[in-house]
Amino acid sequence: MNSQKTKYQTAPMKLWDEVKQLKQKYFEEYRDAKKNGRIRILSATSLSLSMHAGFKDAVIMGAEPFAANIAFHRDFCIKCLEECEKHGFGREICGYSKCVWGAMYLNKNVMPDGEIVDEWMKPDVGTSTSLAPCHVKWFQSLGEASDTPIYPFDLPKAYPYNNENILDYLTKQVLDYIEFAEKTTGKKFDDEIFIESVINEGRSFKLWTQIMLLNQNTPAPLDEKTIFSFITPNLMRPFRKETGDFYQRLLDETAERVEKGIAAVGNEQFRVITDAIPPWPNLQLYRYMEKEYGVVVLGSPYVICLAGTWMFDDDGKLIPTPTPEEAGMKLDTREAAVRALVWYKSHFATETPYNIACGEVLHHLALTVAKQWHANGGILHQNRGCTMQALGSIESRNALAEAGIPCINYEGNDADPRDFDMPNLKRKFDIFFEANKVRRLKKAA
């Protein structure tokens, strides 16, 4: 327990070191794939990583965590961004794209522990989704510049969910992809492993929703900066049984914290939500809010849906989507498993709420999260590195404000440390919290 006197007791997460080691291990597996006679698949995390799992010789890397890891390492990130700018890609282009292109141009990369690697870890196959137009253009350029076979998925309007036309369209694409990847890599797709992977992903994603629901408690057992680290297994290995086992332990630990009243922020006095990818190179902003004002960041539509699958119930509440198994779907063939998978993931999962076609519900979703997670306010990131998320940010603020939840937008960038004004942001936050009568915490002697 923390010895300093706080309003609530607090304690570090027991699984903290383990999740950090897992991330390092995933990157090492990907880095060493060639040495170990395996292939690399770099894939958008939206839709699903399980569709690659039938290739048992493949090491799969989520494209967004791959990019976010570069963004997190400021010095290397800036080198990547500048390299892209030399190739004619301006400041306003998707930050994640530029991080990965930069690594590709430099033929270097960075590991989670900060070690610089002398290759960018070129994939054998890349897949993207049209979640945002920039995402597919990211992979189009990557494929052309590095001679990598690319399969981009067209992710259509995903709301209202369960539309047969959408399910047919997505199912056709996933089945087509599997044949494409078989031809491209010369590897056979194993249906049994794939079906098992779909079951595992359902379990892992369901567990994530249960963990997130526990954060509705006061004090909140988790804060968003910590949650960011715990998303990793579902964004890289959702298809493995061990991932589900890990999340079961995380659920147990979180439930224990709730039971014992262990807080993420010992002096929790103001609960806020955010809305988007955070400024990875500038996460100290979260600690500023926590240390100075006892603000706990509960989560966001982004992080809550990133590693879980949700839907609205009849009362408009956000609830976990039943897994394909729970919904009684048969998973006995490749086709059936693909259809079940796309059915499950075409609810609010990964980043689908941000799909332009979901503007219909995005702001409502932000408001629902704020209400259900008992937020006192909103700190919304106008992320200049991701147009997809930034465009809706003001309307999310409007939705919260109209419901009487005070809210501010702040300007930043998920992947460009140069595009962030910390001193001014601190001043802006000070004013926001003071205006909402959140007193500044006294410094410890």
From 49, 110, 150, 425, residue interacting with another protein (rule: CB under 8 A): 150
If the CB atoms of residues 171 and 282 are measured against another protein, the closer one turns out to be 171
From 394, 403, 422, 435, residue interacting with another protein (rule: CB under 8 A): 394
Cα-based torsion angle of the residue sequence 350, 125, 69, 95 in order, rounded to the nearest 10 degrees: -80
Encoded tokens for 322: 């039943």
Q: Quick one: DSSP state of residue 25?
A: H
If the CB atoms of residues 32 and 402 are measured against another protein, the closer one turns out to be 402
Phi and psi at residue 405, to the nearest 5°: -100, 115
Contact call for residues 293 and 267 (beta carbons, < 8 A): no
Segment near another protein (CB under 8 A); pick from 23-31, 170-178, 198-206, 324-332? 170-178
Segment near another protein (CB under 8 A); pick from 150-158, 226-234, 238-246, 340-348? 150-158
Q: Cα–Cα distances in Å, from 111 out to 27, 71, 118, 124, 280? A: 7, 12, 11, 19, 15
Residue 154 binding another protein, by CB under 8 A = yes
Shortest separation between residue 55's beta carbon and another protein, angstroms: 20
Contact call for residues 436 and 406 (beta carbons, < 8 A): yes
Residue 395 binding another protein, by CB under 8 A = yes
Contact call for residues 377 and 389 (beta carbons, < 8 A): no
Classify the C-alpha dihedral 15-16-17-21 as positive or negative: positive
Residue 356 binding another protein, by CB under 8 A = yes
From 12, 114, 133, 261, residue interacting with another protein (rule: CB under 8 A): 133
If the CB atoms of residues 164 and 315 are measured against another protein, the closer one turns out to be 164
Segment near another protein (CB under 8 A); pick from 14-22, 213-221, 273-281, 394-402? 394-402
Shortest separation between residue 87's beta carbon and another protein, angstroms: 7
Shortest separation between residue 182's beta carbon and another protein, angstroms: 15
Shortest separation between residue 302's beta carbon and another protein, angstroms: 16
Segment near another protein (CB under 8 A); pick from 136-144, 209-217, 270-278, 298-306? 136-144
CA-wise closest residue to 54 among 238, 202, 198: 198
Residue 137 binding another protein, by CB under 8 A = yes
CA-wise closest residue to 310 among 157, 159, 128, 155: 159
Shortest separation between residue 355's beta carbon and another protein, angstroms: 9
Encoded tokens for 343: 């059915």
Query: Cα separation of 442 and 436, whole Å?
Result: 18
- Within 362-391, the residues that bind another protein by CB under 8 A are 382, 384, 387-388, 390-391
253 exposure class (CB count in 10 Å sphere: 0-12, 13-18, 19+)? middle
- Within 174-203, the residues that bind another protein by CB under 8 A are 176
If the CB atoms of residues 207 and 399 are measured against another protein, the closer one turns out to be 399
Contact call for residues 254 and 247 (beta carbons, < 8 A): no
If the CB atoms of residues 239 and 420 are measured against another protein, the closer one turns out to be 420
Shortest separation between residue 184's beta carbon and another protein, angstroms: 13
Encoded tokens for 303: 């992080």
E strands in 173-332: 270-273, 295-299, 309-312, 318-320
Helix-strand-coil split of the chain, %, nearest 5: 50, 15, 35
Classify the C-alpha dihedral 241-127-303-330 as positive or negative: negative
Segment near another protein (CB under 8 A); pick from 14-22, 151-159, 289-297, 314-322? 151-159
Residue 222 binding another protein, by CB under 8 A = no
From 393, 396, 406, 433, residue interacting with another protein (rule: CB under 8 A): 393
Shortest separation between residue 392's beta carbon and another protein, angstroms: 7
- Within 72-111, the residues that bind another protein by CB under 8 A are 87-90, 92-94
| 270-273/150-153 β-pairing | unpaired
Q: Which residues bind another protein (CB under 8 A)?
A: 87-90, 92-94, 130, 132-134, 136-137, 140-141, 143, 150-157, 165-166, 168-169, 172-173, 176, 356-357, 359-360, 382, 384, 387-388, 390-395, 398, 409, 411
